[in-house]
Structure 1
Amino acid sequence: MGAAPTPPMGWNSFDCYGSSVTEAEVIAEATAMAPLRAHGWDHVIVDYQWYDPEPNPLGWQHAPRFAMDAHGRLQPAENRFPSAAGGRGFAPLAARVHALGLKFGFHILRGIPRAAVALGCRLPNADATLEQIADPAATCAWNIDMVGARPDHPAAQAWYDAIVGQYAAWGCDYLKLDDASHPFHAAEVALVRRAIDGCGRAITLSLSPGPAPLDRVAELRALADCWRISADYWDTWDELKRQFDLCAQWAPHTGDGRWADADMLPLGHLAIRNPEHGLGERDTRLSRDEQVALMTLWVIARSPLMMGGSFVHLDPWTRALLSNDEALAPLAHGRDQREIARDGSRRVWRSAAVEGGAWLALFNLSDTPTRFSDVSADAKVRD
């Protein structure tokens, strides 16, 4: 079934901190989230460019500034993650998170650091330079940090074995592999999959960005535990309405340890240092009804739940939303989830309960009240 028998739940640093989160902030967020572990919230994910000593808000920087070891493997920037000093990497921070009863993970970009190639770094476990296995044409369309690895080169697997082996030694539980699924770099993702399978540690592999290709779902399920089904989702009702169609398309293909990811939850307090769309620090723009609709869709569709808002600044209403065990139950205990009816702005979802019975979710995507009695007349709806 893989490393994620149920959809992962937790916190990701991107929506709050962009590329600039610090160790102190990660510890504070993890500590604030820990009391919700009983409700399933147990992952802490450091998003991108943790290796940049001087990140700008969105992180589009040149690779020569990044922290690396002698073999070109990226390391946490010590001015932001002081416990990484002395070559300890993320191991001390992971230990702090694990001590709270939580799991620890982080973001990487597919490929090899461009700066490591330019410096002539050599693999620690194979007789090859990074330049020999690099594919300068296989670059990311929106970030210049990395170049691709040539999957057909005999030493390409050694590169991914070297970095994933280090991540396993640090105590990584969750790896968010970006620039992997749109477009889908299946051959290179397969190298990461083999490295994880051989590293001796259970690590959940999550692919970004979206939308992942629906016509290659068999490959996605074979290679990854989670994959994004949309571009970045932010806190607007119009964007949320688009997620309904995507979740319906992917619902038949999620389950049994493989999860279609509708993206992070932009709830609570956001954008502390993430100027995405130029909006700045704010509380979510979604109304309370819209937030309930978002959570209900993600849960009944069995998407991973990664909170984008700050747990440190969590307000009582959002805390109650995130800790409603009855409403969260279909996430871990549902099966055969699907949209069973749509009529204009109305959507009806059903998820069978493992213990018997089923959950129904009724959604009104319009701005006016509506009735559902004619849609599910044979269903007994308790509340």
Structure 2
Amino acid sequence: MNKIKFIIILCLGVLTSCVDSEISSQTANTSKSVEKNISVDTEFELAATPPMGWNSFDAYDCRINEEEFKATVDYMAENLKEYGWEYAVIDYIWWHPNPGNWDTPRRKGHPNIRYNDDGSPLYPEYTNMDEFGRLIPAVERFPSAAGGKGFKPIADYVHNKGLKFGIHIMRGIHRVAAFQATPIMGTNMTAKDIAEPFDTCNWCNHMYGVDGSKEGAQEYYDSLFKLYAEWGVDFIKADDTMFPPYHDEEIEMIHKAIEKSGRPMILSLSCGEAPVSRAPHLIENANMWRISADFWDNWESLEHNFDLLNAWSPFIGPGHWPDGDMLPIGKLSLNDRPHGKERMSNFTEPEHYTLMTLWSIAKSPLMMGGDLLSTPESTMKFLKNRDVIYVNQHSVDNRQVIKHNNEAIWIATDPANGDRFIALFNLADQPETISFNLEDESLRGTFKVKDLWEGKYLENVNQVLSAKIAPHGGKIFRLTKL
């Protein structure tokens, strides 16, 4: 999307922009004779590296307000921006003044809206939209949106902090717009003409699908993204796009609308599991896409992501990133929504290391889900390790070497100097020593070893890299050839 293609040839021993300056200088001295070239295809303008940021869903469900969001943005600017965390994203139902203000049998506070038999909303004041059927922020929660300003004042606030602003949208057109037959900007068509009442999300009842064969369908999406561009949106999380069935037609319309908007926007598709068979289509139309179902703080889901990230690893690349979902760490489900009781993450400390190590070496986008305002600083160490973040942002040839007998091993390369990153994981319920035979990757000779989480150098190794690892824990190392 809005792509420019160019090829960077990195000659080892020339480019040494490694995070660890000591390693960089040593590598420059020891690899001058190395003439191996690494070609990095960087056909992109957006998402050159996996996007990093924060999304409101895991902590606030659909209920965050302007005061809470701005406070979170302040925290990000003061504490996380320097490490690369830059996107601040408001998740779903921001157009409703008090979403989920009643309980449903399916989930506490689930934000479905009740309708009359004729399709009219039981409470029309709950749906805020403009004259073209485009949803706009509820001023009760986002007061700066008053007077038709929409999210522009909040986007300006985020940008002034040196960060980028994102919003969640649902695929399709709001059913109230279809009921009212609101006009589609720039056409003689109405929302009713393009809406597909039979095509609804099975977990959120607000939207009808859009029939891409109808006149006015693309124009409707164009009008949406024209509005988002005017607001200054940098990131779009488009939901209900891949959950069966896979909505290729609407994904393409969204992609085209972003291109026409004149403003670069990351396109993140939800929810998963995305079908691997659609990888070429996803690479062509999106910057990131969910490869898992909603990911929460339990070991079974984390272990399953080893297989998902492994299956998607051939499709990692600049501008397009398979997404393991948000990081459910820190304080989650405020006021017992959206998933379980309010709590600190159920992940153990070793599982935190596994989560951040796996997401980093698999180059998944890093989107923090926990509440930044009430999560203790002791947890923030998992978001502030520059060496581990470097692996996520800059390594190449990321892949799983083995997952067998309660152990998993991933490997990647630093294109700046040829160093190798090796992650060892203990999937067992008891401490284990995990060993990796370096010959399995033709790594011969002696290597300097840095434990990236501990930030310290270990004894040099040759032949075998080993570490004793806690149950469900992970470690990651940088190996520099001596």
Give the alignment's TM-score, normalised by structure 1.
0.97
Residue correspondences, number:
382
1:52 corresponding residue in structure 2? 96
Alignment match of 2:374 (pick from 291, 299, 313): 313
* In structure 2, C-alpha distance between the alignment counterparts of 1:139 and 1:208, rounded to whole Å: 15
Q: SS in structure 1 opposite 2:88?
A: strand
Alignment match of 1:42 (pick from 80, 86, 89): 86
**Larger strand proportion of the pair:** 2
Deviation at 1:239, TM superposition (A): 1.3
Q: How does 1:233-248 map to 2 (within 5 A)?
A: 233-248=295-310
1:369 corresponding residue in structure 2? 431
Q: SS in structure 2 opposite 1:336?
A: strand
Matched AA of 1:248: N
* In structure 1, C-alpha distance between the alignment counterparts of 2:176 and 2:291, rounded to whole Å: 31
Q: SS in structure 1 opposite 2:309?
A: helix
Matched AA of 2:173: I
Superposition RMSD in Å: 1.3
Asked if 1:194 is matched to 2:256, the reply is yes
* In structure 1, C-alpha distance between the alignment counterparts of 2:435 and 2:353, rounded to whole Å: 21
* Structure 2 residue runs without a partner (length 5+): 1-43, 101-108, 115-120, 452-482
1:234-275 deviations in Å (ceiling 9; x for gaps) = 111121111111011111111121000000001111111452
The answer to whether the Cα contact below 8 Å between 1:15 and 1:274 also exists between their aligned partners in 2 is no
1:346-376 deviations in Å (ceiling 9; x for gaps) = 1000111121222111111111122233544
| Identity, % of aligned positions | 41
Q: How does 1:85-100 map to 2 (within 5 A)?
A: 85-100=146-161
* In structure 1, C-alpha distance between the alignment counterparts of 2:214 and 2:250, rounded to whole Å: 11
Alignment match of 1:292 (pick from 353, 356, 374): 353
Asked if 1:301 is matched to 2:344, the reply is no
Q: How does 1:110-189 map to 2 (within 5 A)?
A: 110-183=171-244, 184-189=246-251
Query: Which shows bigger deviation, 364-373 or 172-181?
Result: 364-373
* In structure 2, C-alpha distance between the alignment counterparts of 1:19 and 1:125, rounded to whole Å: 31
Deviation at 1:195, TM superposition (A): 0.5
* Structure 1 residue runs without a partner (length 5+): none
* In structure 2, C-alpha distance between the alignment counterparts of 1:198 and 1:5, rounded to whole Å: 21
| Closer, same or farther: CA 374–213 of 1 in aligned 2, 3 Å | closer
Deviation at 1:299, TM superposition (A): 0.6
Deviation at 1:114, TM superposition (A): 0.1
Asked if 1:14 is matched to 2:57, the reply is yes
* In structure 2, C-alpha distance between the alignment counterparts of 1:155 and 1:347, rounded to whole Å: 50
Query: Which shows bigger deviation, 39-48 or 182-191?
Result: 182-191
| Closer, same or farther: CA 273–60 of 1 in aligned 2, 3 Å | farther
Q: How does 1:326-365 map to 2 (within 5 A)?
A: 326-355=387-416, 356-365=418-427
Q: How does 1:197-276 map to 2 (within 5 A)?
A: 197-276=259-338
* In structure 1, C-alpha distance between the alignment counterparts of 2:345 and 2:433, rounded to whole Å: 28
The answer to whether the Cα contact below 8 Å between 2:398 and 2:413 also exists between their aligned partners in 1 is yes
| Closer, same or farther: CA 310–374 of 1 in aligned 2, 3 Å | closer
| Closer, same or farther: CA 197–274 of 1 in aligned 2, 3 Å | farther
**Higher radius of gyration, 1 or 2:** 2
